[in-house]
Amino acid sequence: MKLKKLRVVFENIDSYDIPLAAVKEFHVSGVEKTIDYSSYGNLTVEQVCRKFTATFFVDELQKINTVEDVTLDERLDSHNFADLCMIDLVTDDGEETTIRLPWEEMTYPDHNDAMKTWIEEDFESRQLMYISVG
């Protein structure tokens, strides 16, 4: 089983598949399972993490358009939106693993204050987007 793509999911449930060509690396730590029950009879079992970090190639993210009329690099930029809430790991056999990311609302209701992004150039002058959530 190999990773085929990484899917990012935002607070408004928009989701975008990121091909592996756009992913330099990522790390998920402190993953645990949570079980929630509501009086409506809903039972939800989820995986949540304490920390998610990723490095993406900006030029590859710029090839992916979003419904907000911006490319994915702009959508992921915490200075613009800051509402990344889940990732899905999709393998070549079609299996999907969803992991909920840390969320802190301190400034705006739909703003994840636990999310930070910045862009730097690597030694080959290629722009990299760094994301840290948690």
Residue 81 has a pLDDT of 86
pTM for this model (two decimals) = 0.88
Cβ 116 vs Cβ 43: under 8 Å: no
Domains of the chain by residue range: 3-133
Largest CA distance in the chain: 55
Q: Residue 90 and residue 5: Cα distance in Å, rounded?
A: 5
Residue-wise pLDDT for 33-48, tens only, equals 989 898 888 888 889 9
Q: Which residue(s) pair with 55 in the sheet?
A: 25, 130
Residue 36 has a pLDDT of 87
Residue 1 has a pLDDT of 82
| Residue ranges of the chain whose pLDDT lies below 70 | none
Cβ 85 vs Cβ 112: under 8 Å: yes
Element (H, E) at 74: helix 72-76
Residue 72 has a pLDDT of 94
